[in-house]
Chains A and B, each alone.
Chain A
Amino acid sequence: ETGVTQSPTHLIKTRGQQVTLRCSSQSGHNTVSWYQQALGQGPQFIFQYYREEENGRGNFPPRFSGLQFPNYSSELNVNALELDDSALYLCASSRKGGNEQYFGPGTRLTVT
């Protein structure tokens, strides 16, 4: 098991609401990436944070936003939730300049 943790484990929200997901990176890792994994599909890159700044973004709308804190932990915020946002949200931590990304257990978000 990696040292990457995520909270909460599961979450149920209503369409139009806002949600915040949290991730703590593995010790020694300073970069956090967020991915969305829909059922039966591979993870899709949302964005990455390094030194508290966004360092690359995938094809996701601005209502997906994030933060990174001085201790390298990170948050993913999603505003105006849509039914299609229902998915497993994974964060992965890595070292700056390091290729290997290690995933947390994920947060299962259900939007009704």
Chain B
Amino acid sequence: GENVEQHPSTLSVQEGDSAVIKCTYSDSASNYFPWYKQELGKRPQLIIDIRSNVGEKKDQRIAVTLNKTAKHFSLHITETQPEDSAVYFCAASIGGVIYNQGGKLIFGQGTELSVKP
């Protein structure tokens, strides 16, 4: 069935270092890959997403890369800051015009990122 694997489960970095979180997905029909940040007790917040017709997308200190052949996608955070500390979730879905499956998001297990000052 559909599955998204996410690694690592925990990640600790020093302020200013880079952080990388990796995900793999099983359904080759997936065409939309969002990343969410969830702080303790708060809602998941969409921070960046990528569609299958794009290999890389950047937004300031955050970037996402997608390798469709290997069914891998990754989140890169540069110049990390203490406020980046949170749980990050990757997800995959079949969305857009191919919407007959409801556009459901399949989430990874989450990565707890800790940025030490």
Do A and B pair up? The answer is yes
* Chain A residue, CB-CB nearest to B44: A103
Contact yes or no, B107 A43, CB < 8 A: yes
Query: What distance in Å separates the Cβ of A22 from its nearest Cβ neighbour in chain B?
Result: 15
Question: Which residue of A43, A57, A92, A100 contacts B102 across the interface (Cβ within 8 Å)?
Answer: A57
Q: Which residues of A contact B34 (CB under 8 A)?
A: 99-101
Contact yes or no, B104 A99, CB < 8 A: no
Question: Is A66 an interface residue when CB atoms closer than 8 A count as contact?
Answer: no
Question: Is A42 an interface residue when CB atoms closer than 8 A count as contact?
Answer: yes
Of the candidates B44, B46, B95, B97, the one having the most CB atoms from chain A within 10 angstroms of its own CB is: B44
Contact yes or no, A99 B102, CB < 8 A: no
Q: Which residues of A contact B105 (CB under 8 A)?
A: 33, 35, 43, 45, 92, 101
Question: Is B53 an interface residue when CB atoms closer than 8 A count as contact?
Answer: no
Query: What distance in Å separates the Cβ of B95 from its nearest Cβ neighbour in chain A?
Result: 4
A45 to B101, alpha carbons, bound, how many Å? 12
Contact yes or no, A43 B96, CB < 8 A: no
A66 to B96, alpha carbons, bound, how many Å? 23
Q: Which residues of A contact B45 (CB under 8 A)?
A: 103
Contact yes or no, A56 B95, CB < 8 A: no
* Chain B residue, CB-CB nearest to A47: B102
Contact yes or no, A101 B102, CB < 8 A: no
Question: Is A79 an interface residue when CB atoms closer than 8 A count as contact?
Answer: no
Contact yes or no, A43 B103, CB < 8 A: no
Of the candidates A41, A42, A56, A57, the one having the most CB atoms from chain B within 10 angstroms of its own CB is: A42
Apart from A103-B36, A105-B42, 19 more pairs, CB < 8 Å: A4-B43, A40-B110, A41-B109, A42-B6, A42-B91, A42-B108, A42-B109, A42-B110, A43-B44, A48-B102, A57-B102, A58-B104, A92-B105, A98-B96, A100-B34, A101-B34, A102-B46, A103-B44, A103-B46
